[in-house]
Each structure stands twice: as C-alpha cells, then as structure tokens.
Amino acid sequence: MTVTVLAKVRSDGDGVRQVQQRRTNIVRAWALGLALALAWNSSGSLAEYADVILNRYADRADVRPVIFPHWFHRIRYQCRVCHTELGFAMRAGSNDITMDKITAGSYCGACHNGEIAWSPDNCDLCHSAVPGTPTGTRGGHQTTGPGRY
Amino acid sequence: MSSMTAADNLCPFHRSLIIAVLVAFCGTAGAGQWQPLKDDGLHDTTNPSLEVLQNPADALSRLPADTAGNKVDWVRAVRDGYIAPRSQLRDNTPVRILDSKILMNTRGSLPRVRFDHEPHTRLLDCSNCHEQIFKSKAGDTPVSMSAILDGEYCGVCHGAVSFPLTECNRCHTVPHDGDGSGQGAQ
C-alpha cells in the first residue's frame, strides 16, 4: 500500500517535495503523539490508589495536610478496625478529626500513641502533603473516581 | 480492496499519530507500577521526614498481583496468608463472618451480579454496609450503576479503595439465563 502511494507521488512533477512533506508530517505526528501521551500520563497526581488527603484544618493551622495511605494500613488492619471500632465514616472529609482528639486517643490516636505506632509528636510523618492539597481520595491507576471521592 | 482496514483510510499523519500515542503509552505503562512517594505529586518533597516513610513498591510488590487499583489482589493476599491484617483492637469486639451470596438482578444487558458476603465480611463489619448503605432485606435497595459511579452503594468503596469500577466483569458474573451457582464475584 505504502509503496503504491509512494510510486504515485513520485510520478507527479512535485514528487520529491511531496515525499519530503510526508516525512515531515510523520515526524510531526510522532512528536505530537509522544507529547500527548506524556502529558496524559503526567497529568494530575500519581499518588497511590486510595491515598486520602485530610485538610479540614491543616492549611488554616499552617501545617501540611495529612496523607493517609490506605495501602499501608490495610496490610496491618482489616477495614473494620478503623471503620467500626474507631468510628471513621467511609467518606473522605466527613470525619471531624482534630489533634486534641488524637492525643486523647480517638481516631488516629487509638494506634498512633507511641506504643502501637508512632506518637502524634512526629508531625511530619503524617502532615506530609503539598500545602493546599484539598481533602479527598486520590490516586488510581485506572480511575480517579467520580467527583465525590 | 475488501481487505482494506479502517487504518488504511487514515492519512499518514493521523496513522502515525495514533501509533506514536500507543507506543508511548505501552512504553510508560509498565515502568514503575508504584510511584515512589517523592515522585507522586502528593508528598511535599521539602519535608525532611519523607525519606522515613515506606514506599508503596517495598510492600506491594511482594503481594499477589492485580491489574487495577493498588495492583494488588487484596482478597487473595488475605485468603492465601500473604498478610494477616488484625481484625480488632479490643478483645470484646465481635468479628462476624457471613457466608451467603446475594444475586442482584441487573436490568441491563450485562450479566447479573452475585454479591458474596464472605470476602466482604473477612474485612468489614456488618454495620459498615447495613442499614445505612444497604438494607438487609435483598431487593429493598435501589442500586444502580449511575449511583455507584457517583460514589453510592458499592461505589462507597469500589472506585475509592477497593478494586475500581473499570473492572465490570468481576461483579457482573452470572448470565441472565444461568441459575447463579457458578463462581462468585471476587
């Protein structure tokens, strides 16, 4: 097919110029295609699936928002521990979590007490997100989820 | 000319453009299944404690592979003993496992859904779903894909933390003319 097209082009008076134009177009197409694919791949956050950002109070308190990595915690605890025993509602942003409650042993503080997991005075280990990142569920290799996440 | 394909009808520019996009995607898709925290666009790279945190690949690469979500088959990871996540913090918290399946009639053309309680109750408590998200009585909850895609019903977890909503045939497993006795959804 390509050979046929090239032969037709070369039989024209402007054959050489058209072949050059074709090559230029193909190079441009490849460049545009690669750029599009890279732009798509790098658009948005590449965070791990189900990372949750907690920023109800953090930005206002001038600390980094919290990143809660579901993947790390679900290796160690079944969902029911946090979502039943500790009372975390299953909707990002719907839990009124404060440092006062955590240091009193509620929410994250049930484990992050210096005995089961690191204590709340290790601020930077949890408060680790880029400032200004809004509350919500992030990440996803195939879907970033509907708007409500 | 009967063997001519759609690709043959495209001009060389567009054909090359499509091939280039596909090649670029294939080349980058396999590289780095799990982003290091410093490159994920979410972690503040000026945070001095960043290097203390575990990177996803360190843990997830050792678990049964999957093609979506965390790229980990979490149900199999628990069932086959790769991980043994603790079921409770307090000794007196009940841990209830229910082995029953619910066949959900889909009105669309996709196969019906068989919801298997067992793998769900291996991780979740009854109260996580009942009675707020789902009524206990089968058929009393108006589940629809549009609501699920909007983050309701199954979509409270699927698409946010458990396998994403791109995986249609993991739930839609039972042909409309079947009796529902085959392998359940995972």
- Chain B, nearest residue to A76 by Cα: B85
> Per-residue pLDDT tens for A51-76?
999 999 999 999 999 999 999 999 99
**Which chain B residues contact residue A28 at CB under 8 A?**
13
Q: A33 and A97, same structural domain?
A: no
H-type alpha helices, chain A: 2-11, 15-42, 70-76, 79-80, 99-103, 123-126
Contact A146 B150 (CB under 8 A): yes
**Burial class of residue B123 (count of CB atoms within 10 Å of its CB; 0-12, 13-18, 19+):** buried
Domain range holding A11?
Answer: 2-42
Q: A60 and A12, same structural domain?
A: no
Helix axes A15-42, A2-11, angle to 10 degrees: 140
Does A147 fall in a domain? no
Q: A126 and A89, same structural domain?
A: yes
Q: A113 and A69, same structural domain?
A: yes
Q: A116 and A57, same structural domain?
A: yes
| Domains with residue ranges and CATH for chain B | 56-86 (no CATH), 101-174 (3.90.10.10)
Q: A60 and A113, same structural domain?
A: yes
pLDDT tier at A27 (50, 70, 90 boundaries)?
A: confident
Q: What stretches of chain B adopt beta strand conformation (E)? A: 101-104, 112-116, 172-174
Q: A58 and A26, same structural domain?
A: no
Q: Could you tell me the mean pLDDT of each successive run of 10 residues in chain B, 186 residues long?
A: 49 66 49 83 96 97 94 96 97 96 85 95 97 93 89 91 91 79 43
Q: A92 and A123, same structural domain?
A: yes
* Average of per-residue pLDDT values in chain A: 81
A43 touches chain B (CB under 8 A): no
Q: Dig out the tokens for B56 from the structure.
A: 């996803």
Sign of CA dihedral A9, A10, A13, A15: positive
**Strand partners for A117:** A112
Cα–Cα distance, B130 to B125 (Å, whole number): 9
Contact A143 B24 (CB under 8 A): no
> Which ipTM value was assigned to this complex?
0.80
pLDDT tier at A7 (50, 70, 90 boundaries)?
A: very low
Q: A56 and A114, same structural domain?
A: yes
Q: A89 and A72, same structural domain?
A: yes
Contact B21 A129 (CB under 8 A): no
